[in-house]
Amino acid sequence: MERRRFLQLSALALASKAPLQPRKVEAEEVPDSWLKLEGFIDFVKPRKEAAKKAAARFDIYGGLKEGVSPESRVEDIERYFEVYAGASIKYGVDWRILMIIHLDETAISRDERPGRNGFTGAMQRSGNLYPDHEAVQALDEWEFLKELNTFRYNDPVGSSKKSNDPNEIFWAAKYIHDRAKPIRERFSSDLEAQLYVLRNSYSAPKHGVLRDQWFRHISGVLD
């Protein structure tokens, strides 16, 4: 029941543009409609539309990827927002952190050779340290997002040819959540703990610092 309460509170916070911070209060269970594609799309639509407008007006990528047109930025939000939002709801990680990692690692899955350095997928997971089954498990109960079929990378394994982008984005959210949780008391908020992990754990520090800086730069225009 506690997990269901957290999901609902996170979802309500997402809808109201409030910070995604878990807190123990009385709440109903997450409606089943939120865990089905049509209901979830309706649920996140207002937030998605606001993000698309911001992406059209502001260069939300400039600090990490220069020269991306407004049309391409809007297309990226159109393709991936539901997955960022779903991962944010499940793991309580700010969706903009996930977008920034996705952008810097594989240019929002535009990189044509994402496995050339021994890492895999949209978020460049180390297959040696974190096997494929961990990415599959990270998406548990949210597999319906694969029905969107709007993603750029296809899963080379299996006959379904469904994209593995949702698995990888959810895995990244779980990675950040799992490493931020033990150090949460050292920071003023969940977000600051997550940004610490972004700076110091997810990638080499020189990349992490730039990602943190860019997050703070865009946070005023991208809710």
Contact 173, 142 (CB under 8 A): no
Q: Is residue 176 part of a domain?
A: yes
The model's pLDDT over 190-219, given as tens digits with 9 standing for 90+, comes to 999 999 999 999 999 999 999 999 999 999
The model's pLDDT over 72-131, given as tens digits with 9 standing for 90+, comes to 999 999 999 999 999 998 999 999 999 999 999 999 999 877 666 778 899 999 988 999
Q: Is residue 24 part of a domain?
A: no
Number of compact structural domains in the chain: 1
Contact 50, 223 (CB under 8 A): yes
Indicate the average pLDDT of the chain: 84
Give the domain extent around 92: 31-218
Measured CA distances, 34 to 12, 38, 51, 138, 191 (Å): 11, 8, 20, 18, 24
Q: Domain containing 125 — which CATH number?
A: 1.10.530
Q: Is residue 10 part of a domain?
A: no
